[in-house]
Structure 1
Amino acid sequence: MPIRREHRFFYPIDWPQLSAVIRFRRAGGACEGCGRPHGRFVYCLRDGRWWDAACGAWRDRQGRSVPALPRLDELEDLRRTKVVLAAAHRDHDTANNADTNLVALCQRCHILHDHPEHKRRRWRTLFRRRADGDLFDGSYPNR
């Protein structure tokens, strides 16, 4: 996941190398959340189950083998996705680059991990917009 230009200042200068070590050396090129392999296409269902072609089995969100096959109506929602690993901070603090604070996650696990932080930032942005509107334009009309 590319880093936004305005956030690059918060990451160390050797972030690409540090990220590569976490994703490929420590995690072995697989998501540490669900086990999806980097750079491969996988078939996914909406509930997080995915087809692991390497071992020929369906896996759940945590990467555990699922004994039951999906129902036919669930296969209608089957998507093909390319897996791309990214290094994520467990505590969302970009200054804390300790090995124990970094984790290699696929897109799905990364967005689920960051959901509370994204929700907090969204609230803050909307709150700030409303405060700026109150400050410069008076009270907002009821919508």
Structure 2
Amino acid sequence: MPIRREHRGFYPIDWPQLSAVIRFRRAGGRCEGCGRPHLQRVVCLSDGRWWDAQAGTWRSGRGRPLRRSPAVDLLTEVRTTRVVLAAAHRNHDTSDNADANLTALCQRCHMLHDRPEHQRRRWFTLFRRKASGDLFRGPYPS
């Protein structure tokens, strides 16, 4: 995931190299959450299950092989996505770049990992907008 311009100062200067070490040397080019391969097109279902072409099996959203193939309508439920790995901070602290705090995640796992933080920011943004509306336009009608 690209780093927003206003957040770049929180990351170290060598972040691209550090990220590459985590994603490719340690994780071997696969998501550490579900095992999806970097820069590959993956067939997936809406609930996170995906087809691992290399192993020839369906996998769960956490990367575990499924015992049975899912019964799905191939025309409506199946889609393809291109997997891109990103280095993520487990504790959401961008100044803590210890090896144990960094993990390589695909887009889906990264969004699931960051979901509580995104919800917190969303609440804060809505609260701030409402407060500025109260300040400049008066209280909202009930």
When normalised by structure 2's length, the TM-score is: 0.96
* 2:96 is the alignment partner of 1:102: no
| Shift in Å, 1:75 | 6.0
User: How do 1:45-124 residues align onto structure 2 when only pairs under 5 Å count?
Assistant: 45-73=45-73, 76-124=76-124
How many residues of Structure 1 are paired with residues of Structure 2 in the alignment? 142
Q: Name the CA shift for 1:72/1:130 in 2 (closer, same or farther; >3 Å).
A: closer
- SS state at 1:140 partner: coil
Conserved 8 A contact 1:45-1:75: no
* 2:36 is the alignment partner of 1:42: no
Unaligned runs of 5+ in 2: none
Q: Name the CA shift for 1:63/1:75 in 2 (closer, same or farther; >3 Å).
A: farther
Q: For 1:59-88, what per-residue CA distance to the aligned partner results, in whole angstroms no more than 9, with x for missing partners? A: 001111101111133663101111000000
Q: Which amino acid aligns with 2:67?
A: P
Which residue does the alignment assign to 1:131?
131
Identity %: 72
Task: Tell me, in whole angstroms, the C-alpha distance in 2 between the residues paired with 1:85 and 1:72.
Answer: 27
Task: Tell me, in whole angstroms, the C-alpha distance in 2 between the residues paired with 1:75 and 1:43.
Answer: 12
- SS state at 2:73 partner: helix
Q: For 1:16-39, what per-residue CA distance to the aligned partner results, in whole angstroms no more than 9, with x for missing partners? A: 000000000000000000000001
Task: Tell me, in whole angstroms, the C-alpha distance in 1 between the residues paired with 2:130 and 2:11.
Answer: 30
Q: What is the alpha-carbon root mean square deviation over aligned residues?
A: 1.1
When normalised by structure 1's length, the TM-score is: 0.95
Which residue does the alignment assign to 2:7?
7
| Shift in Å, 1:141 | 3.0
Task: Tell me, in whole angstroms, the C-alpha distance in 2 between the residues paired with 1:109 and 1:14.
Answer: 24
Task: Tell me, in whole angstroms, the C-alpha distance in 2 between the residues paired with 1:139 and 1:72.
Answer: 50
